[in-house]
Amino acid sequence: MSGLSAPKPFTPLGRRLVRALLAFSVIFTVLAVVVHMVNDYRAGMDSLNQQLTQAQETYNRQLAAALWDVDNPRLRILLEDLSSQPGIAAVDLNTAIGQHFHYPMGGGARSQRGDAPQTESVLKVNETSPELGRLRLTGDISTLQAHLLKDALQILAAQFAQYLLLCLLIAVLFNRMVTRHITALAKRLEDFPEYTTSKPIQLERRRQNSEDEIDLLARGLQQQQEQLHRHLEERKRYEEELGRHRDNLQELVEDRTRQLNEAVRQLDALARQDHLTGIANRRHFDETAQLEFDRALRHQYPLSVLVADVDFFKQYNDTYGHGRGDICLQEISVLLRDVFRRAGEFPARVGGEEFAILLSHADGAMAMTMAERLRQAVAKMQIVHSGSAAAPYVTLSIGLATLDPLHHRQFTDLYADADRALYQAKAAGRNRTLAAQAEAPVETPAPVDDRDSPPLLH
């Protein structure tokens, strides 16, 4: 029987066990996983570079021929086909005339990390021909990453099995050396007399030349009741501190409430913005228009509204695809923000290809001038539209109406007049602006023939 006596030299019981486990984990895991994954990564990157080189050799001549023939449809087909090849995340083509093509459009879903391999080549019809463009291919490392992850998981699984066997061995040793003595101490605590420290704790274990954690635990339990009063004092201090924190709870709640209100404000702003074009949506336009309409009636200043529609937009989508149709709407929206950027001018997208512009302090003549400026600016963009019967490029039909307090009781009345003028402009041949009148819409002077404008690159 061994009781508490004079302190003996302390030798931690688990030092050898922890040392062995750490050595096994570090040596085996680091060497097996790191070395294996580094080698696989290098081999995978070499293979990916070979795929990029082969893809360039296969497509360079065809792309050069399409550029030489100015065959943009075939060029896009080749670029889309090239971007879908295994191992390719992105294709970028910069032509000699300043055009830039990027596939897949929108960035794609495949990996385009900064460490992805890239290759660049010059496109020529033959060695003596001028440079037609430069093609850059970006490799897709997602497959390589998945392969490396799979290997790492397999190695980790093997290590887990080995560690499990090691843990079983440690558990057996720990039970013999620690657990049974801890159990004996727990049973001793059941009869531990409160506020008594005179009775020593004794454990059934062989005598040792040094102390370990079990001996320290036994001494600590015997000293525990001497420390009870100090612990109660500490708990009282903690309770007082908790009371102070409770007093600060209201301040914390108010701070959190402010954060939530800011988040709600940001969400409300997003709800008022058209997700495709970035300009105001129908909801935001209706709210702003009604407020401005009431203010114009109150202060008796002019107010006009333009309703614009892209001519033959369904045919544009059918011809060039909905993706290109979205880009067309985005380009027109950018132009709207540029043309109507002064105070009191509020552009919005109110439908599929329909836009509305609120013009505060603008009478009919001023609104007509601004509408024509918009229509001509869209025409000068020269967005090719082979399916349009109005022009060989994208055009707008615009209807406008100016506030008449005797005729317009609500903003919806003013908007309805502008909308009717729009449909009459479309019925009259499109690519024109009509102003709503009290009796019948009147067409503006002969529309400007935008076909004489110099073409722009897109």
Active site amino acids: 353
Buried b / exposed e over 104-139, threshold 16 CB at 10 Å, is: beeebebbbeeebbeeebebbeeeeeeebbebbbbb
Distance CA 404, CA 261 (A): 40
Q: Give residues with Cβ within 8 angstroms of 323, minimum separation 6.
A: 105
Distance CA 257, CA 266 (A): 14
Helix (H) or strand (E) holding 396: strand 396-402
Structure-block tokens of residue 126:
């033959």
Cβ(81)–Cβ(103) below 8 Å: no
326: how many CB neighbours lie within 10 A of its CB?
A: 15
Strands (E), 96-234: 100-103, 118-123, 133-139
Q: Give the SS3 label for residue 344.
A: coil
Distance CA 253, CA 276 (A): 37
Buried b / exposed e over 254-268, threshold 16 CB at 10 Å, is: eeeeeeeeeeeeeee
Q: Which of 13, 35, 337, 34 is nearest to 175 (CA)?
A: 13
Distance CA 376, CA 398 (A): 11
Q: Give the SS3 label for residue 212.
A: coil
For the stretch 17-26, contacts whose Cβ atoms lie closer than 8 Å and that sit 24 or more positions apart, written own/partner, are: 17/170, 17/173, 17/174, 21/166, 21/170, 24/162, 24/163, 24/166, 25/159, 25/163
Distances from the Cα of 269 to the Cα of 256, 280, 288, 356, angstroms? 20, 10, 13, 19
Pairing of the two strands 118-123 and 133-139: antiparallel
Helix (H) or strand (E) holding 359: strand 354-360
